[in-house]
Structure 1
Amino acid sequence: MQNNEAFKKDIWSVITVGIIILYALVLMLPLFTLLKESVIKDGGFSLAYFSEFFDKKYYYGTLFNSLRVTVAVTLSSLILATPLAYIMTTFKIKGKLYLQILILISSMAPPFIGAYAWILLMGRNGVVTNFLSDIFHITMPDIYGFTGILIVLTLQLTPLIYMFMMGAFKSIDNSLIEAAESMGYTGFKKIWLVIMPLMVPTILAGSLLVFMRALADFGTPMLIGEGFQTLPVLIFNEFTSEMGGDSGFAAAISVIVVILALTIFLLQKFITNKKSFSMSALHPIKEKKQSGIKNVLAHMFVYGYLALAILPQLYVVYTAFQKTSGRIFVPGYSLDSFRTAFARSGDTIVNTFTLGLVALFFVVVIAILVAYVTVRRRSTITNGLDIISMIPYIVPGSVLGVALLLGFNSRPLLLSGTAAIIVIAFVIRRLPYTIRSSAAIIHQISPNIEEAAASLGSSNLKTFFKITLPMMLPGVISGAILSWVTIISELSTSVLLYTTNTRTMTIGVYTEVIRGNYGVAAALSTILIVITVISLLVFFKLTGKKEVSL
């Protein structure tokens, strides 16, 4: 009986140890195996793979390509998101509620669908390309390569910084703005000298997220990059080469990517800690109705950006109902693409829901436990767990895919080629979303409530399940829905892990585009977009929000 009571009192310590063991097995072990594989050649320690990478321009050029893309996308997203967030916060814009939802939706579809859509619109045989050529004899610039990647990822990732900055603008006290205006700081001068310095921590946080997402993206450069190769594409090609992939070399490239990502992450943390401060808006900024040219330009900017951001998805949906013959869209409309998609790729839809929901179950359970122990049971061990849980935020999907294949490629942990390894990848990559939203709501729950329950004789677990967990549900649900949206759009990891029996819709879209079956690809993309939109509408309904806080 005494042992039983001791166990009850220390149950959260047992749960903490169990979670750490789980992370050690499914995350740290694969990453350690990845590192080991990168420095072992011919049975001994060697840095030959790293030397080979930096000796040949073909290889190290991809590093500069990735940096060029990520920096350009981050800056472009920042340039677009800053005025967008400022206008949406301070101006009265017609249809603002619906615009915010559409901006969010535009960021949730997989980036490679945007790449595919821009190929249909402005590729060498694209609709816009042919129209301008036939009617006005204008030759469009090449959409492929760096330009195409930049356009697709900028439009896709701008909403991420926008969401960060919207929250920050609402935290600025309006009295600061009024004081600045009374001292003669108006217009651009007020924004640059007063508002922007207050936004530095938010800008850095949003920029880091965009940088990481752009660095990790595989589908966009693979589809629209052509000769412009980035690190995720190089890792994929080296690992899966038909001429005999070199797992050691792919592992070495993966280690270089992790070092790059970790360096940027730590640099951002260092600068943020130096610049961080708290803001409390007793009198938050209020939107004002503008008139004249200012109002016209504000509406043109917001609606113009949204038209470009949402256009690719709308056009993909449109083409799904057109008649097609391979890569050619012929006059007329039909549901043939959907029939073919269900007949040929119906299993991908089933797999997406099956694997996604199984992964989501584990995401929710693990996130609840991790969030609780890291907030309520703070210690050196739980602080370490909090850091470990954020590693997938830094590690790109293609790197994690290689790590999992290397780590689970032999008995007794032979999982390669199974559905289990896909589920593990989904869970690891998408846990941070639900952990962060769950932790945020635990911070809002007073510990006094749990202490009162304990004083009445309630055990730790009973208090958690009867009192704390029900109060956590709003944060858990919102995080779970966002995790679900990102799970069903996952490509960079699953493209390395899937088999014919575990193909998901993103894999189906990707393979159909590669094969030139544009109609089927559009139909599958439309189904994926519809699922994403429905998931977000459920999120808005359950949380009562019309935006996502990051």
Structure 2
Amino acid sequence: MVSNLAKKRDMWSLITLGIIVIYAFVLVFPLIALLKESFTAGKDGAFSMDYFFKFFGKKYYYGALFNSMKVTVAVTIASVILATPLAYIMTTVKIKGKIYLQILILISSMAPPFIGAYSWILLLGRNGVVTNFMRDVFHLGTPDIYGFLGITLVLTLQLTPLIYMFLMGALKSIDNSLLEAAESMGYTGISKLVKVVMPLIVPTILAGALMVFMRALADFGTPMLIGEGFMTLPVLIFNEFISEMGGNDGFAAAISVIVIIIALTIFLIQKYISNRKSFSMNALHPIKEKKESGMKNFLSHVYVYGFIALAILPQLYVVYTAFLKTSGRIFVKGYSLDSFRQAFDRVGDAILNTFMLGLTAIVFVVIIAIFIGYVTVRKRTSATNALDVISMVPYIVPGSVMGIALLLAFNSKPLLLSGTAAIMVISFVIRRLPYTIRSSAAIVHQISPSVEEASASLGASTLKTFTRITLPMMIPGVISGAILSWVTIISELSTSIILYTAKTRTMTIAVYTEVVRGNYGIAAALSTILIAITIISLLIFFKLTGQKEVSI
């Protein structure tokens, strides 16, 4: 009887319980606090639906909902349309410089979207380089980068690589014999893609589209910089929560709840459709690249190079402007390192904070992800299944919403964490854990249980088997996931903009602040540093994993 009880309370059960308690404290509790605040009105704190009636009672408020859905749907559709042929061409056609192109695609997706928005302002803004060139030389106007079209352009170029990475993994699972059979029946080119390939990758397209939808719905920096009156929900939440005239926490919470409901609904619809259309593929003969010739080869290269040129252009131009001379806030002729000097002088603390907060978060991410990745694969119980679901909730909850939830939960004693580095680290950990959890779980799947059974049969304890046998084998997957988590942490804005103080601002906050103030030189210097860190992190990822691409 005692031995059975001991088995139930083994090390892994206690670890699982401990992690669930942590999630209950830093995720579930804040979301409950958010929900409670949204239904509370007046000084007596009585139950009320007033905030929701207020939202749907004025066009200014519910118009932001329609604007967000308009942008999000447009970006999702455009990303799918662009990413599908891009992934197909990169998989089936020999493209010159493919290895480097894949790295550029990845870099374009990892930079914060608002840096792309800021770059396009420099290029196509009212006083942008391209705008002035077209007006002075050809006497022509350029498309307006502000508002719906600008937001859609920036987010589409930013998020298309996400679907591309999903599709690259799926296309490798398609057996080449299916394509050969299709060709023997007269399906070639676009018809083969539409009639044969796309039906096979529908679940993957839906999964990628869901991620794009969530990212576009949650993005704060892009519409804030180039929206110009085109109000979206994240901007509305920010304005209502942090207002110069006195924020309304309850109303911001109510809008946040509406956003969560929308995101959860889309998530459940995607899961339902994916489950109905899901099937497994095992490619005995994976698709191989073919060296094409003539018009097909030309158009393939034009499409790939054209998309990558547009996607990477914002980052390249930001790097270029970082080395221009400045006179006050204005760029002048010549090159210098003045912007970098000013950046270190004015916001050097933000650079240090980014590393300190980010690295601290990564330590917790790695430790927690190792345990979650292991128990959700090896110790399947109702508790570990619940943990698996809870750990993925941050995929659904937008960053600004999560930031407000954390502030509402930890803004009074004895849980006073607002304004501290701790609340920043908590937000980084819970929002970026899924990347490392997925890679950790994936590598555990590849480790044969017989290895651990052999260790146990030789008398090794559960802890010793894990630390000496399993953990060393998990390290490559854990590190690769941690690097991707790190890249997303240093580019985090939507949560940080809610939680930061003068002592905890990060580089993304500093970039955003300098852009708003018009200090484009300093903003460009900081952005360049962020881009450099991203590139170095990705190169380390490729080195450690031996991969030349990232597929999800």
Amino acid paired to 1:63: L
Deviations 1:40-88, CA, capped at 9 Å, x for gaps: 1122111110010000000000111110111000111111111111110
Matching residue of 1:208:
210
5 Å-filtered alignment, 1:67-216, equals 67-216=69-218
TM-score (norm 2): 0.98
Provide the C-alpha distance between the structure 2 equivalents of 1:37 and 1:9, rounded to a whole number of angstroms. Answer: 37
Tell me the residue number matched to 1:240. 242
Q: Distance in 2 between matches of 1:44 and 1:292?
A: 72
Amino acid at match of 1:363: V
> 3-state SS of the aligned residue for 2:331?
strand
Give the Cα–Cα distance (whole angstroms) in 2 for the partners of residues 531 and 184 of structure 1. 48
- 2-structure distance, mates of 1:131, 1:184: 48
Matches within 5 A, 1:210-289: 210-289=212-291
**3-state SS in 2 of match to 1:491:** coil
Residues of 1 paired with 2:218 and 2:457: CA distance?
A: 49
Provide the residue aligned with 2:518 in structure 1: 516
Distance 1:326 1:7, change over 3 A: farther
Shift, 1:457, TM fit:
1.3
Is the CA contact 1:123–1:129 (under 8 Å) kept in the aligned structure 2? yes
Q: Is the 8 A contact 1:70 1:215 kept in 2?
A: yes
When normalised by structure 1's length, the TM-score is 0.98
Q: Helix, strand or coil: the match of 1:262?
A: helix
- 2:29 matched residue in structure 1: 29
Instruction: Report the counterpart of residue 308 of structure 1 in structure 2.
Output: 310
User: How far is the alpha carbon of 1:7 from its aligned partner?
Assistant: 8.1
Output the CA distance in 2 between the equivalents of 1:280 and 1:226: 49
- Give SS of 2:172's match: helix
> What amino acid is aligned across from residue 183 of structure 1 in structure 2?
M
Could you say which residue in structure 2 is the equivalent of 1:13?
A: 13
Distance in 1, Cα, partners of 2:228 & 2:342:
28
> SS at 1:195's partner residue?
helix
Correspondence list, 1:46-65, <5 A: 46-65=48-67
Q: Deviations over 1:277-331 (max 9, x none)?
A: 0011111111111111111111111111111111100000000010123442111
- Cα deviation 1:492-549 (Å, max 9, x = unaligned): 0000100000010000000000111000000000001100000000000111001112
Distance in 2 of aligned mates of 1:165 and 1:8: 42
Matches within 5 A, 1:144-543: 144-543=146-545
How far did residue 183 of structure 1 move? 1.8
Contact kept, 8 Å, 1:326 with 1:519, in 2: the verdict is: no
- 1:327 & 1:214 partners in 2: Cα distance? 31
1:38 maps to which residue? 38
Q: Give a deviation string over 1:75-122, Cα, whole Å, max 9, x none.
A: 111111111111101111111111111111111110000000000000
Contact 1:316-1:526 at 8 Å conserved across structures? yes
Contact persistence 1:37–1:247 (CA under 8 A): yes
CA contact (8 A) 1:326 1:516 kept: no
Q: Provide the rounded CA distance (Å) in 2 between the counterparts of 1:325 and 1:378.
A: 62
Amino acid in structure 1 at the alignment position of 2:126: R
In structure 1, give the amino acid aligned to 2:547.
K
Following the alignment from structure 1 to structure 2, what is the Cα–Cα distance between the partners of residues 130 and 327? 18
Alignment gaps of 5+ in structure 2? none
Worse-matched range after superposition: 427-436 or 449-458:
449-458
**In the aligned structure 1, how far is the partner of 2:266 from the partner of 2:214?**
9
Q: What amino acid does structure 1 have at the position aligned with 2:342?
A: T
**1-side partners of 2:127 and 2:327: how far apart?**
14
Deviation at 1:9, TM superposition (A): 6.8
Partner SS state of residue 176, structure 1 = helix
| Mean CA deviation greater in 161-170 or 473-482 | 161-170
* 1:6 shift after superposition: 3.8
Q: Percent identity?
A: 77
Aligned residues: 548
Distance 2:131 2:158 in 1: 22
**Residues 326 and 518 in structure 1, CA contact (< 8 A), matched pair in contact too:** no
Q: Deviations over 1:124-150 (max 9, x none)?
A: 000000011111111112110111111
Are the aligned partners of 1:163 and 1:549 in contact in 2 as well (CA < 8 Å)?
yes
Question: Following the alignment from structure 1 to structure 2, what is the Cα–Cα distance between the partners of residues 398 and 426?
Answer: 12
Which runs of 5 or more structure 1 residues have no equivalent in the other structure? none
For residue 417 of structure 2, what is the amino acid of its counterpart?
L
Contact map agreement 1:30 1:406 (CA 8 A) in 2: yes
SS at match of 1:331: strand
Distance 2:326 2:8 in 1: 64
Give distance in 2, aligned partners of 1:402 and 1:460.
41
User: What is the aligned-residue RMSD (CA, Å)?
Assistant: 1.2
